Amino acid sequence: MKIFAKKPIEVLLAQAAEQGEHTLKRSLGPVSLTALGIGSVIGAGIFVLTGQAAEAHAGPAITISFIIAGLVCALAALCYAELASTIPVAGSAYTYAYATVGEFFAWIIAWDLIVEYLFAGATVAVGWSGYFVGMMADLGVIIPAAWSQAPYLVNDAHQLVATGAILNVPAMAIIAITAAVLIAGITESALFNNAIVLLKVSVVLLVIIFGFLYVNPANWQPFIPAETTDPVTGASKYGLGGIFAAAGVIFFAYIGFETISTAAQETKNPQRTLPIGILASLAICTVLYILMSLVITGLAPYTMLNVPAPVYVAVDNVGPQLAWLKPVVTIGATVGLASTIMALLYGQSRIFYAMSRDGLLPPIFSKVHPRRRTPWAGTALTAIFAGLMAGLFPIGLLGELVSVGTLLAFSMICGAVLYLRISRPDLPRAFKTPLVWLVAPGGMLACLYLISSLPAATFVRLVVWLVIGIAVYFGYAYWHSRYHEKTLGAGQ
């Protein structure tokens, strides 16, 4: 029964109030938190996966997919906002699960969050590499494909196939650079992120505003392409099923708001500020995603968009009228994706920090730099793992894994809100989920449905990942947990 031990909420609240050189520095306000969320959300989803999911799954109806994913995410975001205002501690879904459903389930969520953040950071780095290589080519500098592409790709049967490339070096390099910025300090990181977010949102708005002037409505016909089946693999795409499949794949694009909840212990007045940041960033980004997907599928046939830089391809397809916008898109995406990587590495390092404080990971992950007040060792280790994945694997494989891990975590968060409403109605809640008995169950069911729409091969990889996670739990975490005896002794 030790595996179901719960971390007392009173301990969590006490940790949230800690101060000193060995704790994280509180310097983030609502603007910086919202920018952190936007910085994470507006990234590979809008600059890369939008076009790829349109060609591979939904066609122009990718817009409907974004609406579906946004609504599901809104249900989860409302639940996150309540938990973040109730238990404002670093660690996000992992922390909430530890306090509600117990240690083993918290570990499973944390293992899913590794997929969510670590793999997402790698995914965005691969997307960044595509834009960076294109930008350098425009400047006359050719980076060989052997050193700028993954050595493997995923074919239509969802199998890994060797490409002949050696390593995606640019993807690894950008992870190293963003990790260095994070280690420098949270205040410096926030200023850097705010500036980049302003730049890339401006680029997105330019594409939307000027792109609508040159949209060809014929590219939207048919808006929902008829379902087709590959005669060799038997895989189907387009039609209604394709819309939901695309919603599941692109769901990864929305995880940025969740990053905000990992910043609880670096936030000023977190009970008020966290819900504002979570809901504001989600609302802003959903509108931008819907408009951008309409524009790029209107500028170019969706069959042209399964490329590393689909926004560039869509703008380029217009011709000389938007030629001035192509370098703007390339620079904006190249610089903007860097802030997404930084936000994702930030979230993962803070989850590792929380797990390490609980004894479930080695102490090095919670080691805080005495002057910078950042978990420098955990951030560096996170960057090393993310860099290896970015260098070796293609964006399609990584994106699918991120989506299933995210959806699993979100469904458990919706359940945790209901559990706390029943078991601890006395807890002060600065924000309460409206219509919680409809929103939370609706969020759980919607997440599980989107999971079911993902490619079957994704589940095989997920099972392998979870088996590895369970082995690590019983090999290390179970024996080092700080709450087994304490929790059982308290009769909980």
| All residues at 6 or more sequence positions from 319 whose CB lies less than 8 Å from its CB, including other chains | none
Q: Is the pLDDT score of 486 beyond 70?
A: no
pLDDT in tens, 127-166: 788 888 888 887 889 999 888 887 877 665 556 677 778 8
Both tokens of 296, joined, read 């790029």
Question: What number is the average pLDDT over the span 79-88?
Answer: 81
Distance, CA of 288 to CA of 339 (rounded, Å):
17
Phi, psi angles (nearest 5°) of residue 343: -65, -40
Find the Cα–Cα–Cα–Cα dihedral 391, 347, 244, 96, rounded to 10°.
140
| pLDDT score, position 77 | 85
357-392 per-position pLDDT tens digit: 889 999 988 888 777 777 888 888 888 988 888 888
Token duo for residue 303: 């069959």
Domain ranges across the chain: 2-14+24-489
Task: Please name the residues in contact with 434: beta carbons below 8 A apart, sequence gap of 6 or more.
Answer: 78
Q: What percent of the chain has pLDDT over 90?
A: 19
Closest by alpha carbon to 254, among 86, 435, 120? 120
Mean pLDDT value across the chain? 81
Of residues 61, 345, 70, the one with CA closest to residue 224: 61
168-177 burial code (b ≥16 CB/10 A, e <16):
bbbbbbbbee
Q: Which residues contact 169 (CB under 8 A, 6 or more apart)?
A: 147, 148, 391
Give the global pTM: 0.75
More confident residue, 294 or 424: 294
Provide the H-helix boundaries in 9-119: 9-16, 30-41, 44, 50-53, 62-86, 93-100, 103-114
Q: Which CATH architecture has domain 2-14+24-489?
A: Up-down Bundle (1.20)
Contact 330, 134 (CB under 8 A): yes
Q: What is the pLDDT of residue 159?
A: 64
Query: Of 8-22, 214-228, 390-404, which has the strongest mean pLDDT?
Result: 214-228
